[in-house]
Structure 1
Amino acid sequence: MRRWLDGEQPREPIPQILSELFSERFGCVVGIEDLGLRAVHRSPSVSGVDLPWAGPETVALIGEFSRSDLMLARRGFLGTSLGLSAGPALIEPMQRWLVPSPGGQPGGAKAAGGGRTRRVSRLSEPELELLESTIVMFRAWDAQCGGGLRRKAVVGQLHEVTDLLQEPHADAVSRRLFKVAGELAQLAGWMSYDVGLQPTAQKYFVLALHAAKESGDRPLGSYILSSMSRQMIHVGRPDDALELIHLAQYGSRENATPRTQAMLYAMEARAYANMGQPSKCHRAVKMAEDSFADCAGGDGDPDWIRFFSEAELNAENAHSYRDLAYVAGRSPTYAKMADPVMRRAVRLFGQEIENDAGPQRSYALNLIGMATVHLLQKEPEKAAAVAHEALPLAKRVRSERVNNRLRKTVDTAVRQFGDVPEITDLGERLATLMPDNPETTGPGRAV
């Protein structure tokens, strides 16, 4: 360490490991340069988010990254080969999502053809529909079971789709395949985010956005950007989150359904809340509610946005108020505003999971969110009651977000109200049911 302080540069992967350790410890992105060290250049397929916006390169990058993930999907590899981008290094490359592609043509067929004339493959309509329906199934699994159970299956399916994209297809088929690749890459990123693989998640999100651009699906791109925005809130970068959401809103302004618009406004509110801007947060919450009120059954919502139910709307808005309370020094005013909205979210999620096929993870996260609101209002007995409800759900779903959030909430309760019998009992039950130490993946808020 003394030699490093004197100016000597440690060899790779030491700088990246130090960056990750400090980022985990402080709950925000600490870059290699922030430590006074020099970052070593790596190929775009391994690290970085500033990738070429072209179909053939997108196919190659997704194929290479998904293959590496499948072969070396352990924290030892992923942690030392990736870094989390933030600030201009993240935002500026994503802005090129809006730049029209040359000729407006997808690039999958060209990737394999190398400029030669080749017979277009005969991928049948039933085969395409089967690929698309598989994504719906994977999403349902993720909502019910958490990202840890089926992540590798999603990555494997994504890799298979890149193999298909290496073949020549009619333009319409290529666009549909790129859309499938974009949705699968987004889901792989979301599952990686859920289990705490933050740099891996970000790389999948970026690749998903590239695939969505090739498909010509702007609303899908906006959804991917919203996932990136949520991740930035999770790692303590709400200003980056806001930039990403505004980019999503601008890019999909002409063709996003009211449900998608409502989701984007709700995420905008989350960003403003974490930036400590209550008036702008309130405005975004109202816009989310108004847009959601315009939703109708015949809006033609794609499957990826159907998760955004009335329960999700209330959950996002409640967490915005809760986050405002945190930013304002545990303000009882904002905690009181969050209380009825969070209660409504918990009740609605409870109704959705009555048949055991609903969003178990979302229900667990919002039970935990309700517990945090009770703690903010100095109601430890009520906090313990809802946290007890979350425990069996946390045990059932494979989600680091749920586990870490529950542990942090219980730790806070024990620290503040350790003399309350209900809190003592909660801490003991948590230690019995979930004895493993949590892996810190970000600041202590459910996102």
Structure 2
Amino acid sequence: MGAMTPENFPALLRRLRTGRGWSQARLAEVLCSASGRPTVTRHDVSRWERGKRVPRAWLPYLAEVFGVPRERLELATVTETGPEPSETLASLLPPGDALAPLSVRNGRKVGQSTAVDLAARAHGLRLADDVLAGGDLVGPVFRELDAAVRVLRESTHTDEVRRELLRAVAELAQIAGWTASDAADPRTEATYRLGLDAAREAGDGTLAAQLAGSLGYHLVNNGRVPEGAALSVAAVAEAGPDAPGKTRALFHDRAAWALTQAGDAQAAMRSLGEAHEALEEDAGDSPDWAYWVNAAELEVMDARVYTELRRPLRAVPLLTRVLRDYPVTSTRERALYESWLAVAYADANEPEEAARVAGHVIALSGDVASARTSGRVRVVLSRLAEYRAVPEVRDVLESVQPGPSSC
């Protein structure tokens, strides 16, 4: 008997929904309740079931409400032709125009609902970053940020609304800075600093620490290690001990990475331990922008630090375990994390395994517009060069060499 063809996503979703006796409108209501975000409509569900869009950011909630493994849903999506980046982004952003509050006249008064809408748009962009690379997102993200800054500057509002608008601008600046860094866009540092100023003016120390830590991470990864390390460590202090556990875990993790690059291995290891302790203390009060911080992501940073410190026997098991369950739709992150696994295998004197993983990293990186993945491919190839005599390694190295000119 031949192998059964995997069920595609529209068919699977339709079967799961009708099996519960739910209408498309009912499924939309259930998803809104499960996610806490009233942004799914019957029309969204209809588009998913017609194959017009793939709701990648909603897969965890679909898995929850139907009681099926998330991996099963992901397998169904990868057999489909994915939507264009613009379609994915449109499915995640709330409907409407970020500049709508200014559409009547300059100086129009705006209220709390405008700030809430801008914050929702920031969160939609964060979800889009889970499945799209910087090169796909950088233009739309900066348009959203510019619109939010215009609303802040050109509208009138109460002091309370101003604080919320400032917070929304800071959140948009963080995702814009992150996206710009991934796209190697020169606006990265200025954007992070804009967001940092906005967060501080809003009086949100945790969000300010997020911006400071993000900027420190960018500086470290772009050769300004002492400055970036100092900023990453300062971000931990700016957040303070009363910040939500998930956020403190994130800040400690970034400090660990920066300290590793600065050559302070002992301080880096202490920061890794503090990150895990902070996550254990999480009380469920974290802001929306920390939704992705979990034990698996901390283990990835553990493994990255171990790899940089040439401790492959610690790094390989961690990365192997995390990648086994990591979403196949997060192409950029898989490419990045597997790049550290390839280097760790090389450090463990396992060039054949390093070559196998490196080949997958190269294949994944070709599908994403990310300067980060391109940079990691160069690192992996450089590390493999000393094993060129190994046939598997030689094949990988030769696969990326430019062929003879046809001119």
Task: Tell me if TM exceeds 0.5.
Answer: yes
Structure 1 distance, partners of 2:147, 2:107, is: 18
Q: Are residues 1:253 and 2:240 paired?
A: yes
Give yes or no for the alignment of 1:318 onto 2:306. Answer: no
Separation in structure 1 between the aligned mates of residue 200 and residue 352 of structure 2, nearest angstrom:
50
1:263 to 221, 231, 250: 250
- CA distance 1:183–1:368, change in 2 (3 Å): same
- Structure 2: which amino acid aligns with 1:314? E
Distance apart, 1:391 and its partner CA? 2.9
Q: 2:312 is matched with which residue?
A: 335
Post-superposition shift, 1:313?
0.6
In 2, Cα distance between equivalents of 1:345 and 1:417: 27
Q: Distance in 2 between matches of 1:314 and 1:430?
A: 30
The CA deviation string for residues 13-48 of structure 1, in whole angstroms up to 9 with x for no partner, is xxxxxxxxxxxxxxxxxxxxxxxxxxxxxxxxxxxx
Contact 1:266/1:284 (8 A) holds in 2: yes
Report the equivalent of 2:286.
301
The structure 1 residue matched to 2:136, chosen from 137, 149, 154, is 149
Question: CA offsets, 1:375-422, max 9 Å, x none?
Answer: 111211111121222233212221011012113312431x21112221
- Correspondent of 2:197 among 210, 218, 228: 210
Structure 2: distance between partners of 1:142 and 1:432:
31
1:377 is matched with which residue: 348, 369, 385? 348
Any conservation in 2 of the 1:367–1:390 contact (CA below 8 Å)? yes
Looking at structure 1, the residues matched to 267 and 222 of structure 2 have their Cα atoms a distance apart, in angstroms, of 21
Q: Percent identity?
A: 27
Q: 3-state SS of the aligned residue for 2:309?
A: helix
Runs of 5+ unmatched residues, structure 1? 1-118, 326-333, 436-447
The residue aligned with 1:201 is 188
Correspondence for 2:225 among 218, 225, 238: 238
Q: Contact 1:263 / 1:288 at 8 angstroms: preserved in 2?
A: yes
Deviation at 1:430, TM superposition (A): 3.6
- SS across alignment from 1:396: coil
* TM-superposed deviation, 1:125: 4.2
**2:161 pairs with 1:173:** yes
Aligned to 2:44: none
Q: Which runs of 4+ in 1 moved over 6 A?
A: none
SS in 1 for 2:130: helix
Shift of 1:431: 4.6
**C-alpha distance in structure 2 between counterparts of 1:183 and 1:204, whole Å:** 11
Q: What is the match of residue 406 of structure 1?
A: 377
Distance in 1, Cα, partners of 2:236 & 2:108: 36
Alpha-carbon offset, residue 126 of structure 1:
4.0
Q: Which digits, 9 at most, give the CA deviation of each residue in 1:330-375, with x for residues without a partner?
A: xxxx232222222233234x2xx14x3xx33222100111001111
Counterparts in 2 of 1:347 and 1:292: CA distance versus 1, 3 Å? farther
Aligned-partner Cα distance in 2 for 1:239–1:407: 23
- What is the rounded CA distance, in whole Å, between the counterparts of 2:260 and 2:241 in structure 1? 27
1:143 CA displacement: 2.4
Kindly indicate whether the alpha-carbon contact (under 8 Å) linking 2:217 and 2:228 is maintained by their aligned counterparts in 1.
Answer: yes
Bigger mean CA offset, 424-433 vs 335-344: 424-433
Q: How far apart are the structure 2 equivalents of 1:162 and 1:382?
A: 49
Higher relative contact order (CA 8 A, sep 6+): 1
* Aligned-residue CA RMSD (Å): 2.4
Q: 1:261: how far off?
A: 0.8
Aligned residue for 2:267? 280
Q: Aligned partners of 2:267, 2:112: CA distance in 1, in Å? A: 46
- Paired letter, 1:164: V
1:258 is aligned with what amino acid? G
Give 1:254 shift: 4.6
1:284 and 1:218 map into 2 onto residues whose CA distance is 20
Residue 184 (structure 1) aligned with residue 172 (structure 2) = yes
Partner of 2:366: 395
Query: What's the CA shift for 1:134?
Result: 1.2
How many Å apart are 1:277 and its aligned residue? 2.3
Query: Could you tell me how far 1:216 is from its partner in structure 2?
Result: 1.4
* Aligned mates of 1:255, 1:157 — CA distance in 2: 31
User: How much does 1:288 deviate?
Assistant: 1.1
Q: Which moved more, 1:154-163 or 1:299-308?
A: 299-308
What letter matches 2:394 in structure 1? T
CA displacement, residues 40-92 of structure 1 (integer Å, 9 cap, x when unaligned): xxxxxxxxxxxxxxxxxxxxxxxxxxxxxxxxxxxxxxxxxxxxxxxxxxxxx
The alignment partner of 1:148 has SS state of helix
Distance in 2 of aligned mates of 1:254 and 1:186? 22
Report the number of matched residues: 299
The one-character-per-residue Cα deviations of 1:224-265 (angstroms, maximum 9, x if unpaired) are 111111112212333323321232122211541111111111
Q: Which residue in the other structure is 2:119 paired with?
A: 132
Query: TM-score scaled by structure 2?
Result: 0.68
Secondary structure of 1:378's match? coil
- Please state how far the C-alpha of 1:427 moved relative to its aligned partner: 2.5
Tell me the equivalent position of 1:164: 151
Structure 2 unmatched runs, 5+: 1-105
5 Å matches for 1:407-446?
407-413=378-384, 415-431=385-401
Given that 1:212 and 1:218 are in contact with CA atoms closer than 8 Å, whether structure 2 keeps it comes out as yes
Secondary structure of the 1:398 match is coil
Letter in 2 for 1:189: G
Mapped to 2, the partners of 1:283 and 1:247 lie a distance apart of 15
Answer yes or no: is the 8 Å Cα contact 2:248–2:278 preserved in 1: yes
Distance in structure 1 (CA, Å) of the matches to 2:357 and 2:348 = 14
Aligned equivalents of 1:151, 1:276: Cα separation in 2: 32
Superimposed CA distance per residue, residues 148-171 of structure 1 (whole angstroms, 9 cap, x where no aligned partner): 111111111111112111221011
